[in-house]
Amino acid sequence: PSLAVRMYNIHDVQRLEKEVSSDNNSHDDTNGGVDGLKHLRASYEHAIVFFILSSVHQRDQLGRRDSFFHQAQRTNIRIFIVTDVSQAISAMSSIVQSLAPEKREKKRNYFAQIAEQNYLPSSVVRGGVEPTPETIANHAKEAMIAWAERMEMQTGDVNVALDMMGSIAAVATASNRDLDNIPITTASKDVIRHFFGRIAREEKEGGVVDNDNNLEADSELFGDIDD
């Protein structure tokens, strides 16, 4: 999921309150709300705002109905108010961890949808006759080759991987050692590692799964999968 973070300190708050007081239209809905926060919320799946304020300034912002903090709240964006940067970083870490399972669920739903669309197409099922296991296997291999082309893998690498590993499932859950023993390009190995995720391989190898790193690696290589 896409994530945007914005932070305000007391100097930002004081400056923006002056701007709002001098221009009554600056926080209209047509201008994206106060400091464009409505546009920020609408542009990202997850938008978060941190107010980094001392206890004194927190009481001031919370106690005044016309404060910048309360104006930001009216945009319905997700807001955290903390006393220092370390608290903001800790909160962001927790948020990212909470997003990882959600991202994985989206990927599972996405692959399930693709499988439903592509498995046993009408061109394979002819005259209502159930296809043979060989026909199903050939269709699955063709789909895997088409996937490799979309991922711009080196020509022939996916065939080598399938021949040596024996099945698509074996390729998808191959350990890093398994992949290292296959004579294909490093770029193709990286595509397989990142696309299918590392949970199954690391559990097989007795490693520790790092959801934050998985999320970052997947996003860098493939971007976000939208609903």
Angle in degrees, 0-180, between the axes of helices 85-118 and 211-222, rounded to the nearest 10: 60
> What does the pLDDT look like over 110-146, one tens digit per residue?
666 665 555 545 544 445 556 666 777 777 788 888 8
pLDDT band at 180 (very low <50, low <70, confident <90, very high): confident
Angle in degrees, 0-180, between the axes of helices 10-22 and 55-63, rounded to the nearest 10: 30
For residues 1 and 224, is the Cβ–Cβ distance under 8 A?
A: yes
Of the two residues 201 and 62, the one the predictor is more confident about is 62
For residues 222 and 194, is the Cβ–Cβ distance under 8 A?
A: yes
Beta-bridge partner residues of 126: 129
Looking at residue 114, what is its pLDDT?
62
SS (H, E, C) 89-101: HHHHHHHHHHHHH
Looking at residue 25, what is its pLDDT?
52
Tokens of 142: 């063709």
| Mean pLDDT, range 66-85, rounded to an integer | 90
Looking at residue 195, what is its pLDDT?
79
> What does the pLDDT look like over 31-61, one tens digit per residue?
667 888 999 888 888 899 999 999 999 999 9
Angle in degrees, 0-180, between the axes of helices 186-196 and 211-222, rounded to the nearest 10: 120
Distance between first and last Cα of the chain: 10
Looking at residue 31, what is its pLDDT?
61
Give residue 4's identity as a one-letter amino acid code.
A
Looking at residue 200, what is its pLDDT?
45
For residues 214 and 100, is the Cβ–Cβ distance under 8 A?
A: yes
Cα–Cα distance between 203 and 15 in angstroms, integer?
51
Predicted model pTM: 0.43
pLDDT band at 203 (very low <50, low <70, confident <90, very high): very low
Looking at residue 54, what is its pLDDT?
93
DSSP secondary structure letters along 154-171: PTTHHHHHHHHH-SHHHH
Cα–Cα distance between 223 and 187 in angstroms, integer?
17
| Mean pLDDT, range 7-15, rounded to an integer | 94
